[in-house]
Structure 1
Amino acid sequence: MADLAVRRQRALRHYGTPATTRVRLLCFHYAGGNAAMFRDWPDRLPADVATVAVQLPGRDTRLDEPPHVRMGPLVEELLDVLDPLLDEPFACYGHSMGARVALALAHALRARARPGPRALFVASSAAPALRSEVRGWDEPDEGLIAYLRDLGGTPPIVFERPDLLELFLPALRADLTAVATSGAPARPPLDVPLRAFAGADDGEASGERMAAWREETTGSFELEVVPGGHFFDQAGVARVLDVIAATLAGPR
Protein backbone atom coordinates (compact mmCIF):
# COMPACT_ATOMS: atom_id res chain seq x y z
CA MET A 1 0.00 0.00 0.00
CA ALA A 2 1.22 3.49 -0.80
CA ASP A 3 2.60 5.46 2.14
CA LEU A 4 0.41 8.05 3.83
CA ALA A 5 1.80 11.08 1.99
CA VAL A 6 1.19 9.44 -1.38
CA ARG A 7 -2.27 8.28 -0.38
CA ARG A 8 -3.18 11.82 0.69
CA GLN A 9 -2.03 13.15 -2.65
CA ARG A 10 -4.04 10.53 -4.52
CA ALA A 11 -7.09 10.67 -2.30
CA LEU A 12 -7.74 14.41 -1.98
CA ARG A 13 -8.83 16.57 -4.88
CA HIS A 14 -8.68 20.27 -4.03
CA TYR A 15 -11.05 21.89 -6.52
CA GLY A 16 -10.86 25.65 -6.81
CA THR A 17 -8.17 27.86 -5.29
CA PRO A 18 -9.77 30.21 -2.74
CA ALA A 19 -7.55 33.09 -1.65
CA THR A 20 -8.93 32.66 1.87
CA THR A 21 -10.58 29.51 3.21
CA ARG A 22 -13.28 30.00 5.86
CA VAL A 23 -14.63 26.45 5.74
CA ARG A 24 -13.85 23.29 3.77
CA LEU A 25 -16.54 21.16 2.21
CA LEU A 26 -15.40 17.53 2.28
CA CYS A 27 -17.22 15.62 -0.46
CA PHE A 28 -17.77 11.85 -0.67
CA HIS A 29 -18.83 10.25 -3.95
CA TYR A 30 -21.39 7.53 -4.65
CA ALA A 31 -20.63 3.79 -4.93
CA GLY A 32 -18.45 3.11 -7.96
CA GLY A 33 -17.96 6.85 -8.50
CA ASN A 34 -14.98 9.12 -8.14
CA ALA A 35 -14.04 12.59 -6.96
CA ALA A 36 -14.53 14.20 -10.38
CA MET A 37 -18.27 14.52 -9.79
CA PHE A 38 -17.45 17.56 -7.61
CA ARG A 39 -14.97 19.34 -9.89
CA ASP A 40 -17.41 22.11 -10.92
CA TRP A 41 -18.79 22.77 -7.45
CA PRO A 42 -16.52 25.73 -6.59
CA ASP A 43 -18.22 27.69 -9.39
CA ARG A 44 -21.50 27.67 -7.40
CA LEU A 45 -20.18 28.00 -3.85
CA PRO A 46 -18.92 31.06 -1.95
CA ALA A 47 -15.34 31.98 -2.80
CA ASP A 48 -14.15 31.22 0.73
CA VAL A 49 -15.56 27.67 0.77
CA ALA A 50 -12.88 25.21 -0.34
CA THR A 51 -14.17 22.07 -2.07
CA VAL A 52 -12.12 18.99 -1.16
CA ALA A 53 -13.34 15.81 -2.85
CA VAL A 54 -12.24 12.43 -1.50
CA GLN A 55 -11.21 9.71 -3.94
CA LEU A 56 -11.67 6.25 -2.45
CA PRO A 57 -9.21 3.47 -3.39
CA GLY A 58 -9.86 1.12 -6.31
CA ARG A 59 -10.53 3.74 -8.99
CA ASP A 60 -8.98 6.48 -11.10
CA THR A 61 -5.68 7.64 -9.54
CA ARG A 62 -6.01 4.91 -6.89
CA LEU A 63 -6.81 2.04 -9.25
CA ASP A 64 -3.81 0.06 -8.00
CA GLU A 65 -5.07 0.18 -4.39
CA PRO A 66 -7.64 -2.43 -3.27
CA PRO A 67 -11.06 -0.94 -2.51
CA HIS A 68 -12.48 -1.28 0.97
CA VAL A 69 -15.23 -3.84 1.58
CA ARG A 70 -15.91 -2.82 5.20
CA MET A 71 -16.91 0.58 6.50
CA GLY A 72 -14.68 0.44 9.59
CA PRO A 73 -11.33 0.22 7.75
CA LEU A 74 -12.55 2.74 5.18
CA VAL A 75 -13.26 5.31 7.91
CA GLU A 76 -9.96 4.57 9.65
CA GLU A 77 -8.14 5.38 6.43
CA LEU A 78 -10.16 8.59 6.03
CA LEU A 79 -9.15 9.68 9.53
CA ASP A 80 -5.51 9.32 8.50
CA VAL A 81 -5.87 10.89 5.06
CA LEU A 82 -7.98 13.83 6.23
CA ASP A 83 -6.17 14.43 9.53
CA PRO A 84 -4.43 17.69 8.49
CA LEU A 85 -7.81 19.19 7.52
CA LEU A 86 -9.92 18.17 10.50
CA ASP A 87 -8.87 20.80 13.03
CA GLU A 88 -10.11 23.64 10.83
CA PRO A 89 -13.83 24.36 10.16
CA PHE A 90 -15.34 21.85 7.75
CA ALA A 91 -18.65 20.41 6.58
CA CYS A 92 -19.39 17.12 4.83
CA TYR A 93 -21.45 16.24 1.75
CA GLY A 94 -22.10 12.63 0.83
CA HIS A 95 -23.98 11.32 -2.19
CA SER A 96 -25.62 7.88 -1.93
CA MET A 97 -22.91 5.65 -0.43
CA GLY A 98 -21.01 8.84 0.35
CA ALA A 99 -23.79 9.88 2.74
CA ARG A 100 -23.18 6.78 4.85
CA VAL A 101 -19.42 7.38 4.71
CA ALA A 102 -19.83 10.99 5.86
CA LEU A 103 -22.09 9.88 8.73
CA ALA A 104 -19.64 7.17 9.83
CA LEU A 105 -16.77 9.66 9.71
CA ALA A 106 -18.67 12.16 11.88
CA HIS A 107 -19.35 9.46 14.49
CA ALA A 108 -15.71 8.32 14.43
CA LEU A 109 -14.56 11.89 15.06
CA ARG A 110 -16.94 12.26 18.00
CA ALA A 111 -15.71 8.96 19.46
CA ARG A 112 -12.17 10.35 19.34
CA ALA A 113 -13.17 13.72 20.84
CA ARG A 114 -12.19 15.44 17.60
CA PRO A 115 -14.05 18.44 16.16
CA GLY A 116 -16.96 17.37 13.99
CA PRO A 117 -18.48 18.90 10.87
CA ARG A 118 -20.29 22.24 11.04
CA ALA A 119 -23.03 20.67 8.93
CA LEU A 120 -23.77 17.32 7.34
CA PHE A 121 -25.32 17.20 3.87
CA VAL A 122 -26.65 13.82 2.68
CA ALA A 123 -28.19 12.96 -0.66
CA SER A 124 -29.78 9.99 -2.43
CA SER A 125 -29.42 7.57 0.47
CA ALA A 126 -32.28 5.91 2.33
CA ALA A 127 -32.07 6.67 6.04
CA PRO A 128 -29.85 4.22 7.98
CA ALA A 129 -32.64 3.52 10.48
CA LEU A 130 -34.71 1.90 7.72
CA ARG A 131 -32.08 -0.84 7.33
CA SER A 132 -32.89 -0.99 3.62
CA GLU A 133 -31.51 -3.88 1.61
CA VAL A 134 -28.58 -2.93 -0.61
CA ARG A 135 -29.10 -4.33 -4.09
CA GLY A 136 -26.49 -5.97 -6.27
CA TRP A 137 -23.54 -6.30 -3.90
CA ASP A 138 -23.78 -10.09 -3.48
CA GLU A 139 -25.23 -10.90 -6.89
CA PRO A 140 -23.44 -12.09 -10.03
CA ASP A 141 -22.17 -9.37 -12.32
CA GLU A 142 -25.40 -9.51 -14.33
CA GLY A 143 -27.41 -8.51 -11.25
CA LEU A 144 -25.00 -5.71 -10.45
CA ILE A 145 -25.25 -4.40 -14.00
CA ALA A 146 -29.05 -4.55 -13.86
CA TYR A 147 -28.94 -2.47 -10.67
CA LEU A 148 -26.77 0.10 -12.44
CA ARG A 149 -29.23 0.33 -15.31
CA ASP A 150 -32.13 0.83 -12.91
CA LEU A 151 -30.37 3.67 -11.10
CA GLY A 152 -29.63 5.57 -14.31
CA GLY A 153 -26.79 8.02 -14.60
CA THR A 154 -24.24 5.58 -16.03
CA PRO A 155 -23.14 6.48 -19.59
CA PRO A 156 -24.52 3.89 -22.08
CA ILE A 157 -21.04 3.26 -23.45
CA VAL A 158 -20.05 1.63 -20.16
CA PHE A 159 -22.59 -1.15 -20.73
CA GLU A 160 -21.35 -1.62 -24.30
CA ARG A 161 -17.68 -1.98 -23.36
CA PRO A 162 -16.69 -5.14 -21.43
CA ASP A 163 -13.27 -3.59 -20.78
CA LEU A 164 -14.85 -0.59 -19.03
CA LEU A 165 -17.14 -2.80 -16.97
CA GLU A 166 -14.15 -4.90 -15.94
CA LEU A 167 -12.51 -1.79 -14.50
CA PHE A 168 -15.68 -0.36 -12.98
CA LEU A 169 -17.48 -3.30 -11.35
CA PRO A 170 -14.91 -4.32 -8.68
CA ALA A 171 -14.93 -0.88 -7.03
CA LEU A 172 -18.71 -0.68 -7.27
CA ARG A 173 -19.17 -4.10 -5.70
CA ALA A 174 -16.69 -3.30 -2.92
CA ASP A 175 -18.41 0.02 -2.16
CA LEU A 176 -21.85 -1.56 -2.00
CA THR A 177 -20.48 -4.37 0.17
CA ALA A 178 -19.12 -1.82 2.65
CA VAL A 179 -22.57 -0.24 2.93
CA ALA A 180 -24.49 -3.52 3.00
CA THR A 181 -22.41 -4.97 5.82
CA SER A 182 -22.21 -1.82 7.94
CA GLY A 183 -25.74 -2.08 9.30
CA ALA A 184 -27.13 0.68 11.52
CA PRO A 185 -25.18 0.52 14.77
CA ALA A 186 -26.90 1.71 17.93
CA ARG A 187 -25.32 5.03 18.91
CA PRO A 188 -26.49 8.41 20.11
CA PRO A 189 -27.42 10.84 17.35
CA LEU A 190 -25.04 13.58 16.30
CA ASP A 191 -25.54 17.19 17.37
CA VAL A 192 -25.08 18.86 14.00
CA PRO A 193 -27.32 20.56 11.43
CA LEU A 194 -28.32 17.92 8.89
CA ARG A 195 -29.66 18.72 5.41
CA ALA A 196 -31.01 15.87 3.28
CA PHE A 197 -31.71 15.90 -0.47
CA ALA A 198 -33.86 13.43 -2.39
CA GLY A 199 -34.35 13.25 -6.14
CA ALA A 200 -38.00 13.67 -7.10
CA ASP A 201 -37.75 10.65 -9.44
CA ASP A 202 -35.50 8.47 -7.29
CA GLY A 203 -37.10 5.15 -6.44
CA GLU A 204 -34.11 4.06 -4.35
CA ALA A 205 -34.02 7.02 -1.99
CA SER A 206 -37.27 8.93 -2.23
CA GLY A 207 -38.12 11.80 0.07
CA GLU A 208 -40.17 9.40 2.19
CA ARG A 209 -37.21 7.03 2.56
CA MET A 210 -34.84 9.87 3.44
CA ALA A 211 -37.11 11.51 6.02
CA ALA A 212 -35.81 9.30 8.83
CA TRP A 213 -32.38 10.92 8.55
CA ARG A 214 -33.85 13.31 11.15
CA GLU A 215 -33.18 10.53 13.69
CA GLU A 216 -29.44 10.90 13.08
CA THR A 217 -29.16 14.31 14.74
CA THR A 218 -30.44 16.33 17.67
CA GLY A 219 -29.62 19.45 15.66
CA SER A 220 -31.78 21.08 13.04
CA PHE A 221 -33.00 18.93 10.14
CA GLU A 222 -34.33 19.82 6.71
CA LEU A 223 -35.32 17.56 3.85
CA GLU A 224 -35.59 18.93 0.33
CA VAL A 225 -36.83 17.10 -2.75
CA VAL A 226 -34.94 18.34 -5.81
CA PRO A 227 -35.37 17.74 -9.55
CA GLY A 228 -33.97 14.56 -11.02
CA GLY A 229 -33.40 10.92 -10.15
CA HIS A 230 -30.76 9.25 -8.03
CA PHE A 231 -28.04 11.50 -9.43
CA PHE A 232 -30.16 14.67 -9.78
CA ASP A 233 -30.34 16.76 -12.94
CA GLN A 234 -28.65 20.12 -13.42
CA ALA A 235 -31.46 21.99 -11.69
CA GLY A 236 -31.29 19.54 -8.78
CA VAL A 237 -27.54 19.96 -8.35
CA ALA A 238 -27.96 23.74 -8.53
CA ARG A 239 -30.54 23.62 -5.74
CA VAL A 240 -28.29 21.44 -3.59
CA LEU A 241 -25.42 23.91 -4.00
CA ASP A 242 -27.68 26.83 -3.17
CA VAL A 243 -28.69 25.17 0.11
CA ILE A 244 -25.08 24.30 0.95
CA ALA A 245 -23.97 27.86 0.22
CA ALA A 246 -26.73 29.35 2.38
CA THR A 247 -26.04 26.94 5.23
CA LEU A 248 -22.30 27.53 5.26
CA ALA A 249 -22.80 31.28 5.07
CA GLY A 250 -24.37 31.21 8.53
CA PRO A 251 -22.69 32.05 11.85
CA ARG A 252 -19.29 30.47 12.43
Structure 2
Amino acid sequence: MVTSSLRRYRPRPAARVRLLCFPHAGGGASGYRAWAALLPPTVELVVVQYPGREDRFDDPAPTDLVSLAGHVAAELRPLLDRPFAMFGHSMGTLVAYETLQRLRWEGAREPDLLVVSGRPAPDEALGGQLHLGDDEGLCDELARLGGATQEMFADPEIRRVFLPYIRDDYRLVETYRPRAAEPLDCPVTVFVGTSDPECDAAAAAGWARFTRGPLAVRSFPGDHFYLVPGRARVVAEISALLDPALARSSAAWPSMP
Protein backbone atom coordinates (compact mmCIF):
# COMPACT_ATOMS: atom_id res chain seq x y z
CA MET A 1 0.00 0.00 0.00
CA VAL A 2 1.32 3.45 -0.91
CA THR A 3 1.98 5.54 2.20
CA SER A 4 1.34 9.22 2.78
CA SER A 5 3.87 11.63 1.30
CA LEU A 6 3.65 14.27 4.06
CA ARG A 7 5.91 14.42 7.13
CA ARG A 8 5.45 16.68 10.17
CA TYR A 9 8.43 16.28 12.49
CA ARG A 10 7.15 18.73 15.11
CA PRO A 11 3.37 19.07 14.67
CA ARG A 12 1.96 22.48 15.54
CA PRO A 13 -1.79 22.27 14.93
CA ALA A 14 -2.30 25.82 16.20
CA ALA A 15 0.42 27.32 13.99
CA ARG A 16 -0.50 30.49 12.12
CA VAL A 17 1.43 29.53 8.96
CA ARG A 18 2.47 26.26 7.30
CA LEU A 19 5.75 25.93 5.41
CA LEU A 20 5.59 23.17 2.77
CA CYS A 21 9.01 21.90 1.67
CA PHE A 22 9.98 19.86 -1.40
CA PRO A 23 13.39 18.06 -1.50
CA HIS A 24 15.94 17.89 -4.31
CA ALA A 25 16.56 14.90 -6.58
CA GLY A 26 17.84 12.04 -4.44
CA GLY A 27 16.78 13.87 -1.29
CA GLY A 28 14.40 12.76 1.43
CA ALA A 29 12.14 14.48 3.90
CA SER A 30 14.61 13.85 6.73
CA GLY A 31 16.91 16.46 5.17
CA TYR A 32 14.51 19.09 6.51
CA ARG A 33 13.97 17.56 9.95
CA ALA A 34 16.33 20.05 11.64
CA TRP A 35 14.34 22.98 10.21
CA ALA A 36 11.49 22.28 12.63
CA ALA A 37 13.59 23.41 15.60
CA LEU A 38 14.76 26.54 13.79
CA LEU A 39 11.32 27.78 12.77
CA PRO A 40 9.31 29.97 15.16
CA PRO A 41 6.42 28.33 17.05
CA THR A 42 3.91 30.07 14.79
CA VAL A 43 5.14 28.13 11.72
CA GLU A 44 4.50 24.42 11.16
CA LEU A 45 6.89 22.53 8.90
CA VAL A 46 5.41 20.00 6.47
CA VAL A 47 7.84 18.11 4.21
CA VAL A 48 7.03 16.06 1.12
CA GLN A 49 8.51 12.57 1.06
CA TYR A 50 8.90 11.28 -2.50
CA PRO A 51 8.37 7.54 -3.14
CA GLY A 52 11.27 5.06 -3.21
CA ARG A 53 13.36 6.35 -0.29
CA GLU A 54 13.59 6.43 3.49
CA ASP A 55 10.25 5.31 4.97
CA ARG A 56 8.72 5.06 1.47
CA PHE A 57 11.43 2.78 0.11
CA ASP A 58 8.94 0.19 -1.19
CA ASP A 59 6.57 2.65 -2.85
CA PRO A 60 6.80 2.66 -6.67
CA ALA A 61 8.35 5.55 -8.57
CA PRO A 62 5.90 7.96 -10.23
CA THR A 63 5.50 7.83 -14.00
CA ASP A 64 6.36 11.51 -14.43
CA LEU A 65 6.86 14.69 -12.45
CA VAL A 66 3.42 16.12 -13.19
CA SER A 67 1.67 13.00 -11.85
CA LEU A 68 3.87 13.15 -8.74
CA ALA A 69 2.75 16.74 -8.21
CA GLY A 70 -0.88 15.69 -8.65
CA HIS A 71 -0.61 13.12 -5.86
CA VAL A 72 1.08 15.64 -3.57
CA ALA A 73 -1.58 18.27 -4.32
CA ALA A 74 -4.35 15.85 -3.33
CA GLU A 75 -2.72 15.25 0.05
CA LEU A 76 -2.03 18.93 0.66
CA ARG A 77 -5.59 20.16 0.08
CA PRO A 78 -6.73 19.60 3.70
CA LEU A 79 -3.70 21.58 4.98
CA LEU A 80 -4.57 24.79 3.11
CA ASP A 81 -6.94 25.98 5.81
CA ARG A 82 -4.54 28.75 6.83
CA PRO A 83 -1.80 30.88 5.24
CA PHE A 84 1.02 28.80 3.77
CA ALA A 85 4.30 29.12 1.94
CA MET A 86 6.21 26.70 -0.29
CA PHE A 87 9.95 26.03 -0.50
CA GLY A 88 11.54 23.78 -3.11
CA HIS A 89 15.19 23.07 -3.80
CA SER A 90 16.45 21.96 -7.24
CA MET A 91 14.05 19.25 -8.45
CA GLY A 92 11.84 20.36 -5.58
CA THR A 93 11.27 23.70 -7.30
CA LEU A 94 9.59 21.91 -10.21
CA VAL A 95 7.50 19.66 -7.96
CA ALA A 96 6.43 22.67 -5.88
CA TYR A 97 5.55 24.70 -9.00
CA GLU A 98 3.52 21.89 -10.59
CA THR A 99 1.82 21.12 -7.27
CA LEU A 100 0.86 24.77 -6.97
CA GLN A 101 -0.49 24.86 -10.52
CA ARG A 102 -2.57 21.74 -9.84
CA LEU A 103 -3.97 23.22 -6.64
CA ARG A 104 -4.79 26.48 -8.42
CA TRP A 105 -6.52 24.60 -11.24
CA GLU A 106 -8.67 22.89 -8.60
CA GLY A 107 -9.66 26.26 -7.13
CA ALA A 108 -7.31 26.43 -4.13
CA ARG A 109 -5.75 29.70 -3.06
CA GLU A 110 -2.12 30.43 -3.84
CA PRO A 111 0.55 30.51 -1.14
CA ASP A 112 1.53 33.75 0.52
CA LEU A 113 5.06 33.07 -0.77
CA LEU A 114 6.85 30.65 -3.10
CA VAL A 115 10.59 30.24 -2.47
CA VAL A 116 12.50 28.35 -5.14
CA SER A 117 16.12 27.37 -4.81
CA GLY A 118 18.99 26.21 -6.99
CA ARG A 119 17.17 25.91 -10.32
CA PRO A 120 16.27 28.26 -13.20
CA ALA A 121 12.67 28.81 -14.29
CA PRO A 122 10.59 25.74 -15.25
CA ASP A 123 11.02 26.31 -19.01
CA GLU A 124 14.83 26.44 -18.79
CA ALA A 125 17.50 23.74 -18.40
CA LEU A 126 15.19 21.12 -19.93
CA GLY A 127 16.18 17.65 -21.06
CA GLY A 128 19.20 15.52 -20.28
CA GLN A 129 20.33 11.91 -20.62
CA LEU A 130 21.90 11.14 -17.24
CA HIS A 131 19.02 8.87 -16.24
CA LEU A 132 19.80 6.73 -19.32
CA GLY A 133 23.55 6.55 -18.71
CA ASP A 134 25.74 4.38 -16.50
CA ASP A 135 26.28 4.67 -12.76
CA GLU A 136 29.64 6.39 -13.19
CA GLY A 137 28.09 9.30 -15.07
CA LEU A 138 25.43 9.73 -12.40
CA CYS A 139 28.03 9.64 -9.62
CA ASP A 140 30.15 12.20 -11.47
CA GLU A 141 27.16 14.55 -11.67
CA LEU A 142 26.43 14.22 -7.96
CA ALA A 143 30.05 15.01 -7.18
CA ARG A 144 29.99 18.03 -9.53
CA LEU A 145 27.03 19.51 -7.65
CA GLY A 146 28.62 18.91 -4.26
CA GLY A 147 25.98 16.50 -2.99
CA ALA A 148 28.25 13.46 -2.77
CA THR A 149 31.81 12.28 -3.28
CA GLN A 150 33.18 9.53 -5.49
CA GLU A 151 34.42 7.80 -2.34
CA MET A 152 30.89 7.63 -0.99
CA PHE A 153 29.60 5.78 -4.05
CA ALA A 154 32.59 3.44 -4.17
CA ASP A 155 30.65 1.32 -1.67
CA PRO A 156 28.56 -1.24 -3.65
CA GLU A 157 25.85 -1.32 -0.98
CA ILE A 158 25.41 2.46 -1.09
CA ARG A 159 25.10 2.26 -4.87
CA ARG A 160 22.54 -0.52 -4.62
CA VAL A 161 20.35 1.40 -2.18
CA PHE A 162 20.63 4.99 -3.38
CA LEU A 163 21.34 5.08 -7.11
CA PRO A 164 18.04 3.53 -8.30
CA TYR A 165 15.85 6.22 -6.81
CA ILE A 166 18.32 8.99 -7.65
CA ARG A 167 18.19 7.78 -11.26
CA ASP A 168 14.38 7.81 -11.11
CA ASP A 169 14.45 11.39 -9.86
CA TYR A 170 16.72 12.42 -12.71
CA ARG A 171 14.30 10.72 -15.11
CA LEU A 172 11.45 12.82 -13.72
CA VAL A 173 13.45 16.04 -14.13
CA GLU A 174 14.98 15.26 -17.52
CA THR A 175 11.66 14.21 -19.09
CA TYR A 176 9.70 17.11 -17.55
CA ARG A 177 8.15 19.73 -19.80
CA PRO A 178 6.09 22.55 -18.24
CA ARG A 179 2.48 22.81 -19.31
CA ALA A 180 1.00 26.08 -20.57
CA ALA A 181 -0.42 27.96 -17.59
CA GLU A 182 -1.16 31.47 -16.46
CA PRO A 183 1.57 33.09 -14.37
CA LEU A 184 1.18 32.86 -10.62
CA ASP A 185 0.00 35.86 -8.61
CA CYS A 186 2.02 35.15 -5.46
CA PRO A 187 5.44 36.65 -4.65
CA VAL A 188 8.38 34.48 -5.70
CA THR A 189 11.82 34.58 -4.10
CA VAL A 190 14.74 32.68 -5.62
CA PHE A 191 17.59 31.45 -3.40
CA VAL A 192 20.93 30.74 -5.09
CA GLY A 193 24.36 29.64 -3.94
CA THR A 194 27.14 32.01 -5.01
CA SER A 195 29.14 29.14 -6.56
CA ASP A 196 26.23 26.98 -7.75
CA PRO A 197 26.98 25.67 -11.28
CA GLU A 198 23.25 25.13 -11.92
CA CYS A 199 21.71 28.52 -11.17
CA ASP A 200 23.17 31.96 -10.57
CA ALA A 201 21.46 35.29 -9.88
CA ALA A 202 21.13 36.08 -13.60
CA ALA A 203 19.45 32.74 -14.34
CA ALA A 204 17.16 33.20 -11.33
CA ALA A 205 15.65 36.28 -12.99
CA GLY A 206 13.82 33.98 -15.45
CA TRP A 207 11.31 33.16 -12.73
CA ALA A 208 9.81 36.63 -13.37
CA ARG A 209 7.97 35.10 -16.35
CA PHE A 210 6.11 32.77 -14.00
CA THR A 211 4.53 35.26 -11.64
CA ARG A 212 2.66 38.54 -11.76
CA GLY A 213 3.76 39.13 -8.18
CA PRO A 214 7.08 40.60 -7.10
CA LEU A 215 10.28 38.62 -7.71
CA ALA A 216 13.32 38.76 -5.44
CA VAL A 217 16.67 36.97 -5.54
CA ARG A 218 18.74 36.10 -2.46
CA SER A 219 22.32 34.78 -2.63
CA PHE A 220 24.01 32.56 -0.04
CA PRO A 221 27.65 31.50 0.19
CA GLY A 222 28.20 28.01 -1.18
CA ASP A 223 27.56 25.59 -4.02
CA HIS A 224 24.38 23.85 -5.15
CA PHE A 225 23.88 22.51 -1.63
CA TYR A 226 24.56 25.81 0.15
CA LEU A 227 21.46 25.23 2.30
CA VAL A 228 23.08 22.33 4.20
CA PRO A 229 25.91 24.25 5.94
CA GLY A 230 23.84 27.45 5.78
CA ARG A 231 20.69 25.91 7.24
CA ALA A 232 20.18 28.41 10.07
CA ARG A 233 20.63 31.41 7.79
CA VAL A 234 18.27 29.97 5.17
CA VAL A 235 15.53 29.26 7.71
CA ALA A 236 15.93 32.70 9.28
CA GLU A 237 15.59 34.29 5.83
CA ILE A 238 12.40 32.35 5.10
CA SER A 239 11.00 33.32 8.52
CA ALA A 240 11.73 36.98 7.82
CA LEU A 241 10.06 36.75 4.39
CA LEU A 242 6.94 35.26 5.99
CA ASP A 243 6.87 38.01 8.61
CA PRO A 244 9.68 40.47 9.44
CA ALA A 245 8.73 40.06 13.10
CA LEU A 246 9.88 36.43 12.88
CA ALA A 247 13.48 37.37 11.99
CA ARG A 248 15.70 36.24 14.85
CA SER A 249 18.92 34.48 15.78
CA SER A 250 19.74 30.98 14.57
CA ALA A 251 19.17 29.50 18.06
CA ALA A 252 16.54 26.78 18.19
CA TRP A 253 13.10 27.66 19.46
CA PRO A 254 11.95 25.84 22.60
CA SER A 255 9.79 22.77 22.17
CA MET A 256 6.09 23.47 21.86
CA PRO A 257 3.13 21.13 22.34
Same fold (TM over 0.5): yes
Deviates most, 20-29 or 227-236: 227-236
The residue aligned with 2:58 is 64
2:110 and 2:79 mapped to 1: Cα distance? 11
Structure 1 residues 135-146: aligned runs within 5 Å: 136-146=130-140
Structure 2: tracts of 5 or more residues without a match: 246-257
The residue aligned with 2:17 is 23
Is 1:86–2:80 an aligned residue pair? yes
After superposition, the Cα gap between the structure-2 partners of 1:90 and 1:185, relative to the gap in structure 1 and judged at 3 Å, is: same
Conserved? CA contact 2:140–2:150, under 8 Å? no
Amino acid at match of 1:211: A
Deviates most, 229-238 or 112-121: 229-238
Q: Residue 199 of structure 1: which of 193, 204, 208 is its match?
A: 193
Q: Residue 115 of structure 2: which of 118, 121, 133 is its match?
A: 121
After superposition, the Cα gap between the structure-2 partners of 1:113 and 1:233, relative to the gap in structure 1 and judged at 3 Å, is: closer
2:66 and 2:87 mapped to 1: Cα distance? 19
| Identity between Structure 1 and Structure 2 (%) | 38
Name the Cα RMSD after superposition.
2.0
Is 1:104–2:101 an aligned residue pair? no
Conserved? CA contact 1:129–1:184, under 8 Å? yes
The residue aligned with 1:44 is 38
Conserved? CA contact 2:21–2:87, under 8 Å? yes
Structure 1: tracts of 5 or more residues without a match: none
- Per the normalisation by structure 2, the TM-score is 0.88
Conserved? CA contact 2:127–2:175, under 8 Å? no
Aligned length: 245
Q: Residue 55 of structure 1: which of 49, 54, 67 is its match?
A: 49
1:237 and 1:217 mapped to 2: Cα distance? 27
1:78 and 1:14 mapped to 2: Cα distance? 14
More helix by share: 1
**SS of corresponding position for 2:86:** strand
**SS of corresponding position for 2:230:** helix
Is 1:228–2:222 an aligned residue pair? yes
Per-residue deviation, 1:151: 0.9
1:59 and 1:19 mapped to 2: Cα distance? 27
After superposition, the Cα gap between the structure-2 partners of 1:208 and 1:156, relative to the gap in structure 1 and judged at 3 Å, is: same
1:198 and 1:223 mapped to 2: Cα distance? 8
Per-residue deviation, 1:76: 1.8
Deviates most, 108-117 or 92-101: 108-117
